[in-house]
């Protein structure tokens, strides 16, 4: 029997249905859990925090949601080894909760996904992110090939990784930068990063490897019909592209 995955819905979450559908298409027993039903969360085996604008991104993106009752259970579950995957706003919440990169105390963030550079405005652009760690570093990435490229959509106003120089050095040395922005051919340079994120970072993982925070949306490039070169027939309804992240996550949850 597959293990159960909770897709958390905060006030302002807006990508839960796409996330839910792709998790299920990849074999996951996924269910939406709204903030009013937070007490149900301990019954689930893993958590996914989707994108959106939780609590209207007041103060900072993710700052209020990080103190929501739901996060009490996520923090407890992560400490017990449950897998947690945050996407865009979900990633921001995980950083604000201190679960990622996990170099400081809980709810004392040591890094943040903050306003984009060079101009602090919302961006919406297709990107590729490249696995920058050994796939075995995290159960969530174990189903990926080394240097895997994942297509996704960057759609955020606050996606630039920022931290002190000392913390950035810790993140590099500790293998916390899980994915970096890359060109479609897999090459990496500053021009591949759409928001001036420090270290070219698109995703961070905690020390234990069970919590992953990714800024771009792989679920928005998760189906064959999302692609301009799609073929005809029933294949247009098949999971593809960014779905490899969800397959890897589901495989890890059910392992």
Give catalytic residue positions: 88, 217, 219
Q: How many residues does the chain have?
A: 255
Sorted by sequence, the CB contacts under 8 Å of residue 226 that are 6+ apart come out as 220, 240, 241
| Residue recorded with tokens 């979450």 | 13
Give the dihedral of Cα atoms 170, 171, 175, 178; nearest 10 deg: 180
Residue 174 in 3-state DSSP? coil
For residue 155, what is the enclosing H or E element? strand 149-156
25 to 84, 203, 238: CA distances (angstroms) = 19, 23, 8
223 backbone dihedrals φ, ψ, rounded to 5°: -130, 150
Radius of gyration over every alpha carbon of the chain, rounded to an integer in angstroms: 17
- Angle (CA) 212-136-155 rounded to 5° is 30
């Amino acid at each position: 029997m597959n293990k159960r995955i909770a897709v958390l819905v905060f006030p302002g979450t807006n990508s839960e249905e796409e996330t839910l559908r792709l998790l299920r298409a990849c074999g996951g027993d996924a269910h939406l859990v709204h903030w009013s039903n937070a007490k149900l969360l301990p019954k689930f085996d893993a958590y996914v925090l989707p994108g959106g604008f939780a609590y209207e991104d007041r103060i900072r993106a993710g700052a209020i949601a990080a103190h929501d009752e739901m996060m009490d259970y996520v923090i407890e579950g992560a400490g017990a080894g449950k897998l947690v995957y945050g996407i865009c706003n979900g990633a921001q919440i995980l950083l604000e909760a201190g679960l990622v990169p996990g170099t400081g105390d809980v709810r004392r963030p040591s890094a943040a996904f903050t306003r984009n550079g060079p101009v602090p405005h919302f961006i919406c652009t297709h990107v590729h992110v490249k696995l920058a760690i050994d796939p075995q570093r995290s159960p969530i990435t174990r189903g990926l090939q080394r240097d895997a490229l994942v297509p996704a959509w960057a759609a955020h106003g606050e996606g630039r990784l920022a931290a002190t120089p000392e913390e950035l050095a810790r993140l590099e040395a500790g293998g916390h930068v899980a994915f970096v922005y890359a060109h479609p051919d897999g090459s990496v340079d500053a021009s591949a990063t759409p928001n001036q994120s420090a270290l070219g970072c698109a995703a961070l993982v905690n020390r234990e490897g069970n919590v992953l925070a990714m800024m771009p949306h792989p679920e928005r490039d998760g189906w064959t019909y999302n692609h301009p070169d799609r073929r005809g027939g029933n294949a247009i309804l098949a999971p593809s592209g960014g779905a490899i992240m969800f397959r890897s996550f589901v495989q890890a949850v059910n392992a």
